[in-house]
Amino acid sequence: MSESPPLAHAAPVYLHAGAHRTGTSSFQMCLSLNADALRAAGYDLAYPGRDGIPGGNLQLRLPAPRHGPRKVRRLGEAAGAHLAALRSDATRPLILSEENIPGRMLHFYQGRFYPAAAARARALKTALPGPVAHLLYVVRPYDTLYVSAYRKRAEDRPVEPFATIRPRLMAMDRGWLELMELLIEQLTPARVTVVDYAARGSSAALLGHLLEADPAGLKEPGQVVNLSATDAALEALQARYARGETLERDAWKAVIAEHAEAQEPRGFAAFTQGEAEDLRARYAADMERLGRMPGVSVVQ
């Protein structure tokens, strides 16, 4: 790192808020790999330890769709106490990375796009030690996002056939445009960058972009984190779940590894050509509108 963080009376927050299925685990591995250098440059770090990422101790509990204002307030207060316990110095700028800030992907299968996003962002805002200096969000086209989310869910539990849930995905209630509007309204970031997944680049470059600093000297993770399963692996897993088996993480990871070389597509999850074209057109329109929002930079 060649630049030090800016000084401020309230510690600024550099927020990498996802999205799911856009390399967030690799980004968090990059934070872990560069933790000593980042702390030496004056930053505190907060990121989860999913997938065994060293040093990850962030465990935010934010509201679910069922929670009312009182619960949202209490969860925000608890999240604030949790973040404070992770800090070395309340005056140091904070780098925070968490893909679940807007919510979980499971609501996709009900045709709802992060339904608790506003409440979760509101709770997080009360928990943060200072203003959001930069909100960075990586997005991907809806067709590949929904397929990737479905495939991920199919790794560790039984799922409905993709053909059954396709109509709900096609009728999704909102998308990236509305989500970013909610996050901006609730988090009031000084700067917002939305990055198309195809233009994401390396995790080290993305971190440099988040901090608006020269990424020279930042290390790039050498290992692949959160590798997706092949169709063959998912078919094998779903067959076992259909027989009533319950697999622990190590067991289903072993099945994924066993079928890792079987790369040929087998039609486990796919939209029709027409559906995919419609979803890509919606994505393109949303990205164009995001690019016209004041204070938002779009990288494609």
Q: Domain ranges in the chain? A: 13-223+273-299, 229-269
Q: What is the pLDDT of residues 165-188, one digit of tens each?
A: 999 999 999 999 999 999 999 999
Closest CA to 153 of 21, 17, 298: 21
DSSP bridge pairs for 132: 13
The pLDDT score that the predictor gives to residue 7 is 43
The pLDDT score that the predictor gives to residue 54 is 95
The pLDDT score that the predictor gives to residue 6 is 47
- Regions of the chain short of the pLDDT cut 70: 1-9, 223-227
Closest CA to 227 of 266, 186, 257: 257
Is the N-terminal amide bond of 19 cis, ω within 30° of 0? yes
Class assignment of domain 13-223+273-299?
A: alpha beta
The pLDDT score that the predictor gives to residue 223 is 65
DSSP bridge pairs for 97: 16
Distances in whole angstroms, Cα of residue 17 to Cα of each of 144, 231, 233, 263, 268: 19, 29, 30, 31, 29
Query: Based on the number of CB atoms within 10 Å of its own CB, is 226 exposed (0-12), middle (13-18) or buried (19 or more)?
Result: middle
The pLDDT score that the predictor gives to residue 1 is 58
* Helical ranges in 17-161 per DSSP H: 24-33, 35-40, 69-86, 117-127, 142-154
Q: What is the pLDDT of residues 69-128, one digit of tens each?
A: 999 999 999 999 999 999 999 899 999 999 999 999 999 999 999 999 999 999 999 999
3-state class (DSSP) for residue 46: strand
The pLDDT score that the predictor gives to residue 217 is 85
